[in-house]
Structure 1
Amino acid sequence: MMPELRRILLDGATVEVVRDGAELVAGDGRRVGADDAVHLPPVVPSKIIAVHLNHHSRVAEFMVSLPPAPTYFHKPTSALNAHRGAVVRPPGCRYLNYEGEVAIVIGRTCRGVAPADAGKYVAGYTIANDYGLHDFRDTDAGSMLRVKGSDTLCPLGPGLVTDWDFHGKRMRTYVNGEVVQDGSTDEMTWDMHYLVADIARTITLHPGDVLLSGTPANSRPVQPGDVVEVEVDGLGRLTNHIVTGELPVRDDCGAQPTESEEVVSTAFGGDWEFRGIRPPKRGQP
């Protein structure tokens, strides 16, 4: 079994534990069932960086061509969430999409390394769900700040697996038990080590920093009450549920949620109009 480290809330304290089958074991010997534990994000990053497009199936879905090198966006650390945490869709928003991904976790300070050496700087891997609130895409299409960086939109977990080979691993996302994404790490244009080396050319990566490596095709909106799970071979299964926030987005400042063709097209995979899929207008069920 590959070593798996987790962070949980145990008797009111943040505790690092090691998974031992169905139990989590603290350094002082205390044990708790993995299904009973209150999970925290498995790492504490100083930054979270995500690649825009990487999986061949996702590129084909959007009917675009990849640039010659990856492009990225930044998710603030305030977006962090954990295994079994609630993902909040603000009132007045409709297009909250899941994106099952593999997260790379840095283990050593990393700057100016070659792709062939980048693996030496990786602590391990975990699962991410790179949620996107596409209602704000018209405003933040360049930075993706609110689209991808709003609170709770970066669940990580359940644990950090420290000895995992990213080649040939199947990735699946489920909504209410039904498979909605089915891909493989082998369909990535740029592998995990390439992404680390690319970012580290100009940005110093510190231990705990997270890089999100891209999602397969078929990211779609989810609704309050839905249970979303991301499963990756060897990394386990990350589970979250969708809830409606109590406070609406303020309307006395800033851009408001929109429902433009770009918003709807992105939320439904870039091809909704060609399949005759026209979602209900805002305010309709």
Structure 2
Amino acid sequence: MTTTEYRRILLDGAAVQVVREGDELLAADGRRVRTDRAHHLPPVVPSKVIAVHLNHRSRVAEFGTTLPPAPTYFHKPVSALNSHHGAVVRPEGCHYLNYEGEIAVVIGRTCRNVSPADAGDHIAGYTLANDFGLHDFRDTDAGSMLRVKGSDTLCPLGPGLVTGWDFHGKYLRTYVNGALVQDGSTDEMTWDMHYLVADIARTITLHPGDVLLSGTPANSRPVQPGDLVEVEAEGLGRLSNRIVSGPTALRTDVGAQPTASEEVLSTALGGDWEFRGIRPPRR
């Protein structure tokens, strides 16, 4: 099957959709720019981003748990969107910002009450995602995941939207500073892309551009300011983001403050962190 990769970039001050041709990006008016010189934007403009909690069998095994009979989800606000080469901000005073390499489904046609067999007809294509989690807020936001997964910059997508891509049998890997830290496959997903779309669309209308994040493999761990985090999947390229520190401390006169409870540590450092001799980051 022939694939095509579309990207959105800032070109001469305007947001422009371009097509990748090798090492160049081609705009509809004929302008060209090298991929390594382009100012990337998120490849799509969704009205919503929905993510599945647990899906990859290696991740389930890591936490020593079992999956529910059907997938469960959370919502990432679109204000969390980020792009290829975008900086991911770890707020000052927080310590447990975890990467989660994922494949994102992008809706192409309005979708409501479809079967899994028909869901593929409503998918425009796929892109890479890094479903970053700020686990310092897990004690207070575990139910909604609002700040954990929805804080600004914590939803990088890209580099491009790839159409004609078959999600079966594809590797999914994450690297930190060039070292392989997650090594999974779409074949270890309990619920595939079509199932997830059909499940959500039973009660929530999905519009063109909407994004569904399909889950991460085992070994999500905290990263530090300065780290380069990259997500790669066969046929989708590599999504790269640098971690930076927030310039100011979080306000302390409102709201819950970051914590480092057993719940936070067990999620950020792996389900059996106590027994692996892993030490929490220095505070």
User: What TM-score comes out, normalization by structure 2 length?
Assistant: 0.99
Tell me, yes or no, if structure 1 residue 240 matches structure 2 residue 224. no
Cα separation, 2, equivalents of 1:125 and 1:201: 21
Map 1:47-86 to 2 at 5 A.
47-86=48-87
Aligned-pair distance for 1:247? 2.0
Aligned-pair distance for 1:268? 0.6
Residue in 2 that maps onto 1:121: 122
Aligned-pair distance for 1:19? 0.3
Aligned-pair distance for 1:180? 0.2
Unmatched 5+ stretches in structure 1: none
Aligned-pair distance for 1:278? 2.5
Aligned-pair distance for 1:275? 1.0
Residue in 1 that maps onto 2:38: 37
Identity between Structure 1 and Structure 2 (%):
81
Aligned-pair distance for 1:107? 0.3
Which residue identity does 2:55 align to in structure 1?
N
Aligned-pair distance for 1:2? 1.6
Deviations 1:149-191 (A, max 9, x none): 0000000000000110000000110000000000000000000
Using a 3 Å threshold, how does the CA distance of structure 1 residues 131 and 280 change in structure 2: closer, same or farther? closer
Cα separation, 2, equivalents of 1:232 and 1:112: 30
Map 1:12-27 to 2 at 5 A.
12-27=13-28
Over 4 Å off, 4+ runs: none
Cα separation, 2, equivalents of 1:178 and 1:217: 15
Using a 3 Å threshold, how does the CA distance of structure 1 residues 280 and 158 change in structure 2: closer, same or farther? closer
Aligned-pair distance for 1:281? 5.0
Cα separation, 2, equivalents of 1:222 and 1:239: 14
Deviations 1:132-164 (A, max 9, x none): 000000000000000000000000000000110
Cα separation, 2, equivalents of 1:195 and 1:110: 12
Cα separation, 2, equivalents of 1:23 and 1:96: 33
Residue in 1 that maps onto 2:162: 161
Where 2:118 maps in the other structure, the secondary structure is helix
Cα separation, 1, equivalents of 2:32 and 2:282: 50
Which residue identity does 1:189 align to in structure 2?
T
RMSD, aligned α-carbons: 0.7
Unmatched 5+ stretches in structure 2: none
Cα separation, 2, equivalents of 1:276 and 1:239: 30
Tell me, yes or no, if structure 1 residue 187 matches structure 2 residue 177. no
Where 1:273 maps in the other structure, the secondary structure is helix
Cα separation, 1, equivalents of 2:248 and 2:48: 27
Which residue identity does 2:65 align to in structure 1?
V
Cα separation, 1, equivalents of 2:277 and 2:158: 36
Residue in 2 that maps onto 1:11: 12
Aligned-pair distance for 1:61? 0.2
Where 1:245 maps in the other structure, the secondary structure is strand
Cα separation, 1, equivalents of 2:250 and 2:151: 11
Aligned-pair distance for 1:257? 0.2
Cα separation, 1, equivalents of 2:228 and 2:278: 23
Where 2:15 maps in the other structure, the secondary structure is strand
User: What TM-score comes out, normalization by structure 1 length?
Assistant: 0.98
Residue in 1 that maps onto 2:280: 279
Which residue identity does 1:22 align to in structure 2?
D
Residue in 1 that maps onto 2:173: 172
Aligned-pair distance for 1:16? 0.5
Deviations 1:66-109 (A, max 9, x none): 00000000000000000000000000000000000000000000
Aligned-pair distance for 1:280? 4.3
Where 2:248 maps in the other structure, the secondary structure is coil
